[in-house]
Structure 1
Amino acid sequence: MPENDPWEYSLYIPNDLRAVTVSRRTLRLILTMHGLIRLVDVAELLATELVSNAVRHTKGPAALRVRWSPPGTLRIGAWDADPEPPEPPVVFGPTEELEEGRGLELVRACADGWGWHPLARHGNRGKYVWCELAAG
């Protein structure tokens, strides 16, 4: 049974593709420890796409943020230092096999909601791309 109290974790990561694996494994541990094991597989997929985009398409550091809001919403987000909006999801046909560009389409298809917003704090600029999963 997941906790009834809200919680939030942030993992600050360097601009390094290995950070995607570290983020995914850290998320698995967090969700397991909070009794949300049934969300792990989809949450890992979503976090992988968000963190991968943050690391591949920007030059600065990034962060994974995970937040639980009772009674049952898990928000997964990735911050990066680039203020440019993410590329909108593209719906691919059944015969298209592209190597890139499917990340946000996967997020759109697997999450209960997603979005992004620009950030500006203490002279730092960037954006936060997030998605939500309902635990119920």
Structure 2
Amino acid sequence: MLKSHGMAEVLDAVELLTSELVTNVYLHAKSPASLRLTALGQGRLRVGVWDSHPYIPAPFARPPGDRVSPAAEGGVGGRGLFLVQEFADAWGGWSLGDGLLDRGSGKLLWFEMGRKH
């Protein structure tokens, strides 16, 4: 899909970051999930991952520009969200309510990337 939209140069990064978000749902939220790719125009793509757990992790819960530290050397986890802030052009998260009780709530984490010039 990205190749046909002239975004082949960001394909690897989009796949990596999408994999990180989906893996976090699997490991931490252990809930139903949904993935959505949205073409925003002008060569921009938004990837959103919804799950029914309400917790929004950093850097998604922090103001734009507020960054998380890299994972400890030798650690087995903690690199995925750091990668999002390093490679994505923008990112964020929205709380959709208490997903533990309300159907269709939880959170949406997203990142955006555009063609590199």
TM bucket (normalised to shorter chain) is 0.7 to 0.9
Could you say which residue in structure 2 is the equivalent of 1:118?
95
SS at match of 1:130: strand
Query: Which of 9, 17, 40 is the aligned partner of 2:11?
Result: 40
- State the shift of 1:130 in Å: 0.6
SS at match of 1:57: helix
Could you say which residue in structure 1 is the equivalent of 2:55?
84
**Unaligned segments of structure 2, at least 5 residues:** 60-66
Whichever structure has more helix as a proportion of its residues is 1
| C-alpha distance in 2 between matches for 1:124 and 1:69 | 24
* Runs of 4+ more than 2 Å apart: 32-36, 87-90
Whichever structure has more strand as a proportion of its residues is 1
TM-score by length of 1: 0.68
Query: Which of 99, 107, 111 is the aligned partner of 1:127?
Result: 107
Could you say which residue in structure 2 is the equivalent of 1:27?
none
Count of residue correspondences: 106
Q: Which amino acid is 1:119 matched to?
A: L
Question: What whole-Å deviation, never above 9, does each CA across 1:29-62 have from its counterpart, x for those lacking one?
Answer: x323434222211101110111111111112211
SS at match of 2:78: coil
More RCO (CA 8 Å, sep 6+) = 2
- Percent of aligned positions with the same letter in both sequences? 41
- State the shift of 1:108 in Å: 0.4
